[in-house]
Structure 1
Amino acid sequence: MDNAGLGGWPARRALMSPDRTAIVHSGRSITYAELAARVDRAAHRLRAEGVRAGDRVAYLGPNHPSFVETMFATHALGAVFVPVNTRLAAPELDHVLTDSGASVLVHASALPEPIRRPGTVVALADYEDWLGPSPAEPVDVPVSRDAPAFILYTSGTTGRPKGAVLTHDNLVWNTYNLLVGMDIAGSERTLVSAPLFHVGALAQTLLPTLLKGGTAVLTPGWDVDRVYDLVEGERITWMFGVTTMFADLAASPRWRTADLSSLRHLLCGGAAVPETLIRTYQERGLTFCQGYGLTETAPGVTLLEARESVRKAGSAGPPVFFGDVRVAATGEVLVRGPNVTPGYWNDPTATAAAFLPGGWFRTGDVGRFDADGHLHVVDRLKDMFISGGENVYPAEVESALVEHPAVVEAAVVGVPHPRWGEVGRAFVRYAEGGGPTEEELRAFLATRLARYKIPAHVDVVPALPRTASGKVRKSELRHLPIR
């Protein structure tokens, strides 16, 4: 087989275990042989639409078999897959589609206006008809592992999302790192309930499961009772989630009585996990492991193995096996390894700023190593905060705020929240004559930003505190009491 990248995985796995179940979704099961055949159909269809190596194919929708099929079909052609965050507002979506230059978009719901529409737009309701009949021959295009496989957009520090490029090799080495750190078996039944447009669900559950020949149980969204039903009914062995998801499960009335005996691994990432939550799961007899990573590192940087999950609870673990981590004199966590992005799509300036000599990627996070070589992430150099597992960059929110004609300037910081970890708090200065109410300002932002980026608190101030050089003193704003 000429395809050395991810696009060859379905055919290779189908040769090894054709009758095993690859995907379960809404009561429907797809074997590895069926998955490989459907990926071939999708690849032929994309090729008929003009997709060639290096072209971009976007997907906007919830977790669904079509996501997996379109992704592998894109990779089978040597093209680049662009999974789009379903929470994006119209201007954000327009930027992603325009910046990536996607020529095909598969989507699950009505598209907002106005946005750039690729040459081929396929609604999920029409997906089966669009696939067409089975091809006579499988697609086998030469694809090297150092070719781009994904563009994953992260919220931008300058008001625009940046597209982190991940190669086939980046994802392959991340999978190796996960398999070294976790005892993943071919019999896994993995619950994929976190959205696949996030690198955590994509690279930490779906790809390792399919590589090993396990079963990925896809859910279209997060629903606590549905998750309990699936864990019990599908005998789920492994799941990944962000802190908020695991907190929701532990807060459910079903927590004490649900049959969780099938669960072997629980992997959490996306934000720091309170030790009290980790202990809650451990007291239930569950192995709860934490990791640390970023979109740009595909994502694993560190991983706490199961055998250390009790003794080192609260630690993000040691560096992954095939990767290096160090802490600079400034306290910034730096990463180097085959899982690290080659850079940002069409953004050489951001790429250059993200790396130090020697290939060290700047995470923007502040951390420390303990005596055992385990990383503890303690702060962030950047202003970014994490709300419910989603990265929020204040500059992006501030850019949207000042689009309102009454807002002269704005500053946004993250403040603690008992459920979401952090939420936004905006400080705005209005022009003479006043401005909108807090509710009106949020409604204004709702047309421009995803819901999780909209500040939970809004303070109208006569001026923003600034340094002598004119920069806003955000550290001062973070410590102001909330009314």
Structure 2
Amino acid sequence: MTDTTLAVLTRRAHERYPSAPAVLGASGGLDFAALGAAARRIAYRLDRRGLRAGDRVLLALANCAELMLCEHALFGSGLVRVAVSERLHPREIAGIAADCAAALVVCEPAAAPAVRDLLHRDEATARTVVLPAAEAAALAEPGVPDRWPDRPLPGADDLAALMYTSGSTGRPKGAMVSQRGWVAMLRGFWAALPPLGPGDVAVHAAPMSHFGGSVGTAVTLRGGAAVPVRRFDPGAVLDTVARHGATVLPSVPTMLKSLTEAAAGRDDLGCLRAIPYGGSGISAPAAARAQQVFGTVLYQCYGLSEALAPVTVLDARDHAAGGPRLAAAGRPTPEVEIRIVPADGQPPEAAATGSVGQGGAGPATATGGSDVDGAASSEPIGEVWLRGDCVLPGYWARPEATAAARTPGGWFRTGDVGRIDADGYLYLVDRISDVIVSGGFTVYPSEVERAIAELPEVADVVVFGVSHERWGEAVAALVVPAAGAALSTADVVQACRDRLASYKKPLQVEIADSLPTSSTGKVARRALRAAAWARHERHVGQ
């Protein structure tokens, strides 16, 4: 498409919107002129320390103004952003820093000593600089020339970021994002969301190291302001939205559910124009409740570390229409191609840009007929493959993993199971690795979750496979009741009996106060599965 780079767009925003607010907070804020000056001074000082374009800088920070200062310094100077959750253990942060050979680590003060000690034990990482957030912010202070380092701007195919996978199935891998790829992500958001510009305000309660930061870049580089929120408290977040007249509120499903409960009955949130959410799936009932509370402002965005959201978008009109379509992940953004590919993985024929991959000569596809979404569907089910500028060029220093994930034709194998309906909407069924095979029958956890979520007494649910002597695997469910609701394990099993084939009902049900989540806010399905396989539990519903 275009050879515009993230570096060019970052510098342009500082110049184009000098007097517009860029960062807002309780202790004041920065306009774009001040943000640009701070970013240039940080970049200048890092250059004097020996960092050069292409060097990796790991940011393990909670949502804060310092994170934005560092990001803009990296974006504008060709350094590579490696953002991870500040909730990671120091050993995990050091491990990722070692994997990508980071020249600099910026992290929370409590983690800095341990991260530094771990890195400096190894000769290969002994020269890695570790700075707590305050020391990194001090690099923005006056005292050096207010200019970018004197070196060429990065090209469109140069590296902009590494997005580390969660590592739930092994050692974390760094998905490489080129300058071209990050700009493609921005164009996707700009096409999907309402028009953005000066006057827009994004409240960042979702992690800025992940999906929230992706949305934030789209807002900031169009002249909008950011309000970083360090700690998620639903009521306090909504108070911040109302106080700043925020127009954009990036979220993840677990947060959106809490925000929906806290927003019920409030009349001071009419300023919101867009609540983009992503990072994991959401049940149709939860999406419907959010639509009822917030109105026509919801945008569900599907993407991965290897293909940044928004790959597909279920937009505000889709949410307002309601019905079965709330179970969809949306339609592809204009520059993305999608195919549904059978288990044999035969390369699909080329599709037109923006195609959903169902027309013309395509690959043989897996046969459908599974009652996903609670109703018979005739669309073929298979692995979701993607192609476009948003797709990773590869994994950092993992040629074997890159070869396994990408085809010679440029298609990325997502590992997600899905189908596409006649109107071009993608429905995600599950991760290939999460599929349960019980007695030879395939069970998708998401379809069982949807059946259980239809109970009004259920606030949240996660389904996973556990070991079973007779069936090999059995279905297990961890369920959170709605506030004040009386819910029994028998109710949960009966809901599945009423809606699904008998072999799909859970044989193990546990009622809990909350669901465990990862550092990025996703439900920790695989951790639950691993713990359950390590112990013997009583079965129910047999």
Q: TM (normalized to structure 2)? A: 0.70
Is residue 275 from structure 1 mapped to residue 284 from structure 2 by the alignment? yes
Q: What is the CA distance between 1:286 and its match in structure 2?
A: 3.8
Gap change, CA 1:234 and 1:321, over 3 Å in 2: same
Cα distance in 2 between the residues matched to 1:176 and 1:108 = 32
Cα gap change, 1:26/1:351 in structure 2, threshold over 3 Å: closer, same or farther? farther
Q: State the 1:327 CA deviation.
A: 0.5
Q: CA deviation at 1:320?
A: 0.9
Determine the C-alpha separation between the residues in 1 that align with 2:250 and 2:535: 45
CA distance in 1, matches of 2:412, 2:133: 38
Aligned equivalent of 1:138, options 147, 157, 160: 147
2:132 pairs with 1:123: yes
Q: Deviations over 1:267-303 (max 9, x none)?
A: 1212221111222122233422212111111222101
Instruction: Say whether residues 1:288 and 2:339 are aligned partners.
Output: no
Provide the aligned C-alpha RMSD in A: 3.2
When residues 313 and 27 of structure 1 are mapped into structure 2, their CA distance, relative to the original with a 3 A threshold, is farther
Q: Secondary structure at the match of 1:229?
A: helix
2:174 maps to 1:163 = yes
Q: Which residue of 1 aligns with 2:307?
A: 297
**Contact 2:4–2:183 (Cα < 8 Å) also in 1:** no
Residues 482/90 of structure 1: CA separation in 2 closer, same or farther (3 Å cut): farther
What are the within-5 Å matches in structure 2 for residues 230-379 of structure 1? 230-252=240-262, 254-284=263-293, 285-311=295-321, 312-330=325-343, 331-379=382-430
Matched residues in 1 for 2:239 and 2:529: separation? Answer: 32
Structure 1 residues 233 and 380 mapped into 2: Cα distance closer, same or farther (>3 Å)?
Answer: same
Count of residue pairs the alignment pairs up: 415
* Per-residue deviation, 1:310: 2.4
Partner of 1:196: 208
Aligned to 2:216: 206
Q: Which moved more, 1:42-51 or 1:286-295?
A: 286-295
Report the CA distance between 1:188 and its aligned residue: 1.5
Could you tell me how far 1:462 is from its partner in structure 2?
A: 8.6
- CA deviation profile, 1:356-382 (whole Å, cap 9, x unmatched): 231110110110111111001012212
Residue of structure 2 in register with 1:471 after alignment: none
Shift of 1:136: 2.7
* Distance in 2 between residues matched to 1:245 and 1:151, nearest whole Å: 25
Q: Percent identity?
A: 31
Q: 1:335 to 1:480 in 2, by over 3 A?
A: farther
1:41/1:131 contact within 8 Å kept: yes
Give me the whole-angstrom Cα distance separating, in 2, the residues matched to 1:45 and 1:51.
Answer: 9
Q: Is the 8 A contact 1:61 1:109 kept in 2?
A: no
Return the letter of the residue paired with 1:13. Answer: A
2:246–2:271 CA contact under 8 A, matched in 1? yes
Q: 2:191 aligns with which of 159, 162, 180?
A: 180
Confirm or deny that 1:75 pairs with 2:86.
Answer: no
Q: Please state whether the residue corresponding to 1:115 is helix, strand or coil.
A: helix
Distance 1:176 1:353 in 2: 28
Residues 10-37 of structure 1, C-alpha deviation per residue, up to 9 Å, x if partnerless? Answer: 4312322210001113342110000100
Q: Which amino acid aligns with 1:75?
A: F
Distance 2:141 2:426 in 1: 50
Residues 416-457 of structure 1: CA distance to partner in whole angstroms, max 9, x if unpaired?
44489xxxxxxxxxxxxxxxxxxxxxxxxx9xxx99575498
Does the CA contact (< 8 Å) of 1:25 and 1:64 recur in 2?
Answer: no
Deviating more after overlay: 359-368 vs 16-25 = 16-25
DSSP 3-state at the match of 1:281: helix
Matches within 5 A, 1:431-446: none
Shift of 1:250: 2.0
Q: Distance in 2 between matches of 1:59 and 1:47?
A: 17
Distance between the aligned counterparts of 1:233 and 1:414, measured in 2?
43
Which amino acid in structure 2 is aligned with residue 193 of structure 1?
A
Offset at residue 178 of structure 1 (A):
1.3
> Which ranges in structure 2 are unaligned for 5 or more consecutive residues?
121-126, 344-381, 436-444, 450-461, 465-472, 483-517
Structure 1: gaps of 5 or more residues:
395-410, 421-445, 464-476
Q: What code does the residue aligned with 1:32 have? A: F
1:87 CA drift (Å): 2.0
- Measure the CA separation in 2 of the matches of 1:221 and 1:8: 32
Using structure 1 for the length normalisation, give the TM-score: 0.78
